Structure 1
Amino acid sequence: MDPVIVVGAGPVGLVLSLALAAQGVPSVVLDEGPGKDEQRSARTVVLREDTAALVERLGCATLRDEGLRWSGWRSMRRKQLVRELPLGEVPDTGPLLAPVHLPQHALTRGLRAAVAAQSLVRMAPLSRIDTLEQDPSGVTVHTRGPDSTWWRGSYLVGCDGARSTVRKLLDIRFPGRTAVERHAVAALRTELPWPGEAVLHRAAPWRTAGPEVTARPLPDGVWRLDWLLPPRGELVTPDALIIRVRDTLAGWCGETPAYELLDTGVYTLHHRLARRWRSERAFLAGDAAHLLGALGTQGLDEGVRDAENLAWKLAQSWHHGASELLLDSYQAERRAAVAARLRAADQSLPILRGGGGLRTLVPGSARGHDTLLTDGHLGCGPLGAPPSYTHSPLAPPRTEAHAPVGTPPGAPVVDVRVTAPDGTSVRLRERLGRGHLLVVLVAPGTGVWDRRHWLTAGVMPRLIDAVAALPVKGELLVAENYPGASAHTVLLVRPDGHLVAAFGGVLPAELFAAADAARGGGIETADGGGTGAARDEARHRSPRSERAAHVN
């Protein structure tokens, strides 16, 4: 069967190709550029707990080598400290796990290195797409460049950014708001009074600070400083930016300390959402599907979540066939989650930027405003928390067999420690992204038993048989405990880490029904044909696809 075509070699496209490869699906990445990225110290990314874990799981070592986890979060207003929050690097070391902050070019370089070590991913630099055609069995595209050619794929995913060519070729509208926020940015090496902490300072008392300035640490004594600008109008000249830097450093340190200016820039944030994220066998992801980022929200986080959500569904279809419901669920889940994030940001903007009556919802409360901004920057609350797919079309009907646990159905599971039948003890998150469902039995005390005994004791033999009988492949794991779960609770978890359902015991029929719902039901393929080799042999190629014989 043909590979998946990924258009765009930014972080989202590279993550998607690696996530597909982890599930045995080949891909070709069409890169418009030459295969390397410009180094810009002022262009950085913040990855939250779940997205950072995914990137590391896919083999990107850059987060450990060139990223920094903040030790704390500090909010100030005028001359007063409003909030100080410690952040942990591992679970249970702080109220919140620290995000990872690193230059975007370093992240991209690390992902490219992981791709280079992956035999199932082929990179095609200097390949700009200009034609896209679909038929019931696949997608054919043409790229122009030094080696102008046709490519044939089973599916296509446009990860080609805000000006997406794929989106335009699919004639998908991209409505939204322009210039929601503007920021002046500087990356510099210096010493600030809060080593390792991220700082948000609102209404700082010096003249050039503007309404808001943030300082976020990077490795090697580097900081990224952001100043909120008026949405339109103010032109930031190099001299004006130097004055901002000096005044801000002096305001924080008492006098301007020695500093090395590494990079500067001005960027404008837009809020946009594509009308459709799927058109037959073509999909959109990342900035091609949505733009957001005001109030500290992170567009890259959402793009990585797009890739994780779509990868296992394409893998299911590529290997076994998939229902239309499964493929449609990508748009239903991810577009709804991003739309909710955009609504939360748009509703909060008048409150935080002092415009209009909505401000009365948080009447004069600096702490209330601080909480909203902290949510966006640290990845919690409606502005930043990982999404929950409560109303997913893949959710099984609620029955009396379902048991309540600390995680609602559709939400990401807690990263507890689990044991596999082979005796391997790992974090639950390390077993995600392998293309199969996870079945987790909560069995207190198994950690002190010899594995040979508990594998044949109690409910385990029955549960082993139930997992073997599922309509899709499942992996059985055992946990000593899980928040809110009693002994012998069984959790069914999707390949992207979202809870399908929890049951109060081993209930094979209910477990089978929930697994069938999670795969979209049935085994019919999206084109109505069979699965596996039979479908591959039956598929017909267009004449142009025959000219792409170099793609296997």
Structure 2
Amino acid sequence: MDPVIIVGAGPVGLSLALALARQEVPSVVLDEGPGKDEQRAARTVVLREDTAALMERLSGVPLAGAGLRWSGWRSMRRKQVTREVVFDAVDAAQEHEGRKDAADAPDAAEGPAPLHIAQHVLTGALRQAVAGQRLVKVAVESRLDSLEQEPSGVTAHTRGPRGTWWRGSYLVGCDGSRSTVRKLLDIRFPGRTAVERHAVAALRTELPRPGEALLHRMPPWRTPGPAVGEVMARPLPDDVWRLDWLLPPGKDLVTPDLLLTLVRETLAGWSGGTTPAYDLLDTGVHLVHHRLARRWRADRVFLAGDAAHLLGALGTQGLDEGLRDIGNLAWKLALAWHHGPHEALLDSYQAERRAVVAARLRAADQALPALRGGGGLRSYMPGSARGHDALLADGHLGRGALGAPETYTASPLAPPRTESAVSPATEPGAQVVDVRVTAEDGSFVRLRDRLGRGTLLVVLVAPGTGVWERKHWVSAGIMPRLAAAVTALPHPAELLVAESYPGAAAHTVLLIRPDGHLVAALSGVRPAELYQATEATLGGPAKTEATEATAGAS
């Protein structure tokens, strides 16, 4: 079987190669560059908790040490008190709940904190992992210029010093917003250009609240040139901060003098009027586009990451979404590579991921007029500013329509609900909670650590097992029957035991996809229903050459 061809050696392409290798699928990564990444301190990424965990599993590097999780989030709002301007620090979680009194709000926002990390650090960790992976070949200075598809595979040609032909089983375009793969397939990429424009600076300094992200929607300080709107500061390790200033629409030139003025006045505004000492590391201008490819699959070719979608307004995170594409696609490609065509399963990648990203884009586009309109009745309605702060917090903190983890409730892979189905805190299609489980060897591990191996997970909720050695309960009660049912499933599955799971009663059985999304929760051991749910998760029975020949003859 030919390897999977991956076009693009950014974080998305490298992550896909590593995710496939974990499932024993070889790949070739076509890198049009020299195999090294430019170090830009102002080019950073924000990863949600589950996505950061995925990157740590793939790279083998504890990224929390290379990035920084926000210890809190403060939304700064201006209000007039006689002639004095003061800042009202409002906890974003409390804003989200609509409480009127924020004076007693805790500093830390509720829920897991996002991880902020320099992109070249993330890419470097992935490149290092790829270098030690026997199933991944990276071809540098190899720019794709043509591809051809046949029923049995894909042929791609690259130009450059090492130009040649490559043969693959599948091809995935992870080659960015100007994707050559997308253009060769003639796939439309409609959307909006320059939805937002930001001036960006990375600098080393000390701010009054270290480790805490700051957002000021209406800064009272004034700068020459374009009227600057929203200002945000996000922390990085070693007292480094990334500052973003929302610029007005248009093409006004952002000069070095203007950037320096923005830096000085912003730091002074957050530090009591005096600009603290700082070391400017990097600057830039970031344009946010909103686009969505019409198709994400064309036979044996797929799109992922920026090649498939562009987003980033109001705290939405484009790279984070691209990595979620990989989590969804990798196990499906691996299953098809090992076991033959699973067309419904491969089609579900577009059905699931495109729907989620489209909903995210719609939510951002609908919120933009209210947040960026610059006036109108909404600006004078009581509580409107508080609602705006909460909406922005949703995007930046990863919750609500702008940022919450994806839920595949309308997935074509979802099995029909049965009479024995129960409703834990996690709904079918949503990501499971990372609880402690007992593995088959008796060791205690995190549920999330068992993801991405290509196998399904079956979790039995059995209170009390956490205090007994496995040998005392592995052959007792319903365990033998459940183990037999798992062995009989149409796809390899790992049986795990959890002492508890949010909202689940004792003897609840959870069926979980390799990417961590709940398929079904059943009351007790139901072998037939577990089998049917597994079959639905795989897109139905696999088509073998024999069945295809029979179908063609009929």
State the TM-score bracket (shorter-chain normalisation): over 0.9
Cα distance change, pair 298–324 in 1 and its aligned pair in 2 (3 A)? same
Asked if the contact 2:154/2:300 (under 8 Å) is kept, the reply is yes
| Structure 1 segment 448-467 matched on structure 2, within 5 A | 448-467=467-486
| Structure 1 segment 271-282 matched on structure 2, within 5 A | 271-282=290-301
Q: Match of 1:289?
A: 308
Of residues 224, 228, 250 in structure 1, which corresponds to 2:268?
Answer: 250
2:242 and 2:15 map into 1 onto residues whose CA distance is: 25
Of residues 229, 238, 253 in structure 1, which corresponds to 2:247?
Answer: 229
2:97 is the counterpart of 1:84 = no
Asked if the contact 1:72/1:196 (under 8 Å) is kept, the reply is yes
Asked if the contact 2:30/2:139 (under 8 Å) is kept, the reply is yes
Q: Match of 1:173?
A: 188
Instruction: State the shift of 1:398 in Å.
Output: 1.3
2:171 is the counterpart of 1:152 = no
**What is the percentage of aligned positions where both structures have the same residue?**
74
Q: Match of 2:19?
A: 19
Instruction: State the shift of 1:97 in Å.
Output: 1.0
Higher alpha-carbon deviation: 503-512 or 449-458: 449-458
Q: Match of 1:537?
A: none
Instruction: State the shift of 1:168 in Å.
Output: 0.3
Q: Match of 2:101?
A: none
2:253 is the counterpart of 1:238 = no
RMSD of Structure 2 on Structure 1 (CA): 1.9
Instruction: State the shift of 1:95 in Å.
Output: 2.2
1:300 and 1:358 map into 2 onto residues whose CA distance is: 35
Of residues 205, 210, 220 in structure 2, which corresponds to 1:205?
Answer: 220
Cα distance change, pair 81–457 in 1 and its aligned pair in 2 (3 A)? same
Higher alpha-carbon deviation: 517-526 or 379-388: 517-526
Instruction: State the shift of 1:23 in Å.
Output: 0.8
Cα distance change, pair 375–330 in 1 and its aligned pair in 2 (3 A)? same
Asked if the contact 1:141/1:150 (under 8 Å) is kept, the reply is yes
Q: Match of 1:489?
A: 508
Cα distance change, pair 55–43 in 1 and its aligned pair in 2 (3 A)? same
Instruction: State the shift of 1:70 in Å.
Output: 1.2
| Structure 1 segment 54-65 matched on structure 2, within 5 A | 54-61=54-61, 63-65=63-65
Instruction: State the shift of 1:362 in Å.
Output: 7.6
2:373 and 2:109 map into 1 onto residues whose CA distance is: 32
Asked if the contact 1:213/1:227 (under 8 Å) is kept, the reply is yes
Q: What amino acid is aligned across from residue 250 of structure 1 in structure 2?
A: A
Q: What amino acid is aligned across from residue 234 of structure 2 in structure 1?
A: R
Cα distance change, pair 362–311 in 1 and its aligned pair in 2 (3 A)? farther
1:115 and 1:330 map into 2 onto residues whose CA distance is: 24
2:279 and 2:469 map into 1 onto residues whose CA distance is: 58
Of residues 202, 205, 211 in structure 2, which corresponds to 1:196?
Answer: 211
Cα distance change, pair 414–500 in 1 and its aligned pair in 2 (3 A)? same
Of residues 403, 411, 420 in structure 1, which corresponds to 2:422?
Answer: 403
Higher alpha-carbon deviation: 118-127 or 203-212: 203-212
2:233 is the counterpart of 1:215 = yes
Cα distance change, pair 261–526 in 1 and its aligned pair in 2 (3 A)? farther
Secondary structure of the corresponding residue to residue 41 of structure 2:
coil
Q: Match of 1:386?
A: 405
Q: Match of 1:75?
A: 75
Q: Match of 2:530?
A: 511
Secondary structure of the corresponding residue to residue 506 of structure 2:
coil
1:388 and 1:237 map into 2 onto residues whose CA distance is: 43
1:319 and 1:493 map into 2 onto residues whose CA distance is: 20
| Structure 1 segment 108-127 matched on structure 2, within 5 A | 108-127=123-142
Q: Match of 2:360?
A: 341
| Structure 1 segment 96-107 matched on structure 2, within 5 A | 96-107=111-122
Instruction: State the shift of 1:364 in Å.
Output: 4.7
1:359 and 1:511 map into 2 onto residues whose CA distance is: 51
2:332 is the counterpart of 1:313 = yes
Unpaired stretches in structure 1, ≥5 consecutive residues:
88-92, 531-552
Secondary structure of the corresponding residue to residue 188 of structure 1:
strand
Asked if the contact 1:437/1:474 (under 8 Å) is kept, the reply is yes
Asked if the contact 2:233/2:244 (under 8 Å) is kept, the reply is yes
Count of equivalent residues: 525
Unpaired stretches in structure 2, ≥5 consecutive residues:
79-85, 95-107, 550-554
Q: What amino acid is aligned across from residue 2 of structure 2 in structure 1?
A: D
Residues 465-516 of structure 1: per-residue CA shift (max 9 Å, x gap): 0000000010000001111110000000000000000000000000000000
Residues 150-208 of structure 1: per-residue CA shift (max 9 Å, x gap): 00000000000000000000110000001100000010111100100000011111012
Q: Match of 1:303?
A: 322
Cα distance change, pair 128–85 in 1 and its aligned pair in 2 (3 A)? same
1:43 and 1:276 map into 2 onto residues whose CA distance is: 29
Secondary structure of the corresponding residue to residue 144 of structure 2:
strand
Cα distance change, pair 53–528 in 1 and its aligned pair in 2 (3 A)? farther
Asked if the contact 2:229/2:248 (under 8 Å) is kept, the reply is no
1:336 and 1:526 map into 2 onto residues whose CA distance is: 32
Asked if the contact 2:508/2:523 (under 8 Å) is kept, the reply is yes
2:150 is the counterpart of 1:135 = yes
Residues 346-388 of structure 1: per-residue CA shift (max 9 Å, x gap): 0111111126879489865222111110011111111001100
Asked if the contact 1:82/1:367 (under 8 Å) is kept, the reply is no
Scaled by the length of structure 1, the TM-score of the pair is: 0.92
2:427 and 2:255 map into 1 onto residues whose CA distance is: 50
Q: Match of 1:7?
A: 7
Instruction: State the shift of 1:528 in Å.
Output: 7.6
Q: What amino acid is aligned across from residue 10 of structure 1 in structure 2?
A: G
Asked if the contact 1:71/1:196 (under 8 Å) is kept, the reply is yes
Instruction: State the shift of 1:62 in Å.
Output: 6.2
2:416 and 2:394 map into 1 onto residues whose CA distance is: 32
Q: What amino acid is aligned across from residue 324 of structure 1 in structure 2?
A: E
1:330 and 1:374 map into 2 onto residues whose CA distance is: 29
Instruction: State the shift of 1:399 in Å.
Output: 1.5
Residues 47-70 of structure 1: per-residue CA shift (max 9 Å, x gap): 110100000011242613321111
Secondary structure of the corresponding residue to residue 406 of structure 1:
coil
